[in-house]
Amino acid sequence: MDTIPKKTFFNLDSEKQQRITDAALNEFALRSYEEANISNIIKDAKIPRGSFYQYFENKLDLYKYVFDYIKEKKMNFLGNDLKNIDDLPFLEIFRLLYHQGVKFSYTYPLFVQIGKHMFNLKKDMYDELVGNGLKLAKEYYVGYLEADKLKGRIREDVDSSIFADIVIELTTNIALEGFLESDIDLDKMVSKADSLINIFKKGIEKGDLNV
């Protein structure tokens, strides 16, 4: 299977690669995928149209590359936070990563705009780009939940798979709701996620209820 981008892109010097990448980031931040125009990217990157198709098959391939580029940037940003967390409870790991994810958004506001447009993609395209990442996230979460069971931190009867699905679904909805607002309020998204985590930790029933 051919790489995305093509190998010819990776043969370019780093300055030209970055120039093309920045042009694509700017275009996809400014416009939705459907409205984004390769002509604008070519003009901004200062490359001939023919050169573009030496590096990418089409706009979709370029978009996939941009999506992977952002994911790599985020993983590098979270690098130090992913070290030495194995002894933390799952919900604390989740809280840490969510907070750092918001810091990442503050650091790279252009990526936030791209993410905002991403939520409006056609379902099949959204699933293709995001689905594998969510699957990996679920596997990651289930592993830590099972470890917490062994350490006596959560009840053994909790279904780790279902709970991981709930966490992913609810936090995705928080992000979706936040990104679709006219003015994105990242602090509000953090506050909602924290409230959600606290509900997970403490439950909703009072401890002295008579059953």
Nearest to 94 by CA among 173, 204, 205, 201: 201
Same domain, 104 and 19: no
Does residue 67 lie in a domain region?
no
Would you say residue 210 lies in a domain?
no
Does residue 99 form part of some domain? yes
pLDDT at 126: 85
Domain count, the chain: 2
Does 37 reside within a domain?
yes
* Confidence (pLDDT) at 118: 85
* Residue 143: closest CA among 160, 126, 129, 120: 160
Domain-embedded: residue 72 = no
pLDDT at 211: 47
Residues 6-53: pLDDT tens digits? 999 999 999 999 999 999 999 999 999 999 999 999 999 999 999 999
CA atoms within 13 A on the CB side of 115: 23
Q: Please check whether residue 78 lies inside any domain of the structure.
A: no
**Interval 130-182: pLDDT, tens:** 888 889 889 999 999 999 999 999 999 999 999 999 988 888 777 777 776 76
pLDDT in tens, 73-100: 998 988 877 777 778 899 998 888 888 8
Q: What is the CATH number of the domain that holds 14?
A: 1.10.10.60
Q: Residue 155: what pLDDT? A: 92
Domain range for 105: 84-202
